[in-house]
Amino acid sequence: MRILTFTGKGGVGKTSVSAATAVRLSQMGYRTLVLSTDPAHSLSDSFNLPLGSEPYKDHGKPSCY
């Protein structure tokens, strides 16, 4: 298991980079869980999915939760 964290100041692209990384890793066949501790819903906007507290299987992206 490998854990990647994306940190930094606000507005530097953490959400965009983490979403893109999750999509690419899932395309490569890695089981991928992407999550955020930010109360803003920008990560759910990146995936065009509802915000929730349970993992959601994104059927458009293999192996991505």
- Note if the pTM is more than 0.85: no
Average pLDDT of the chain is 84
Q: What's the pLDDT tens digit per position in 33-43?
A: 888 888 787 88
Q: What distance in Å separates the CA atoms of residue 25 and residue 17, rounded to the nearest whole number?
A: 12
In this structure, what DSSP letter does residue 6 have? Answer: -
Confidence of residue 20 (pLDDT cuts 50, 70, 90): very high
Please state the rounded mean pLDDT for residues 14-34.
Answer: 90
pLDDT: which is higher, 38 or 58:
38
H-type alpha helices, 1-65:
14-27, 42-47
Q: Is the pLDDT of residue 60 over 90?
A: no
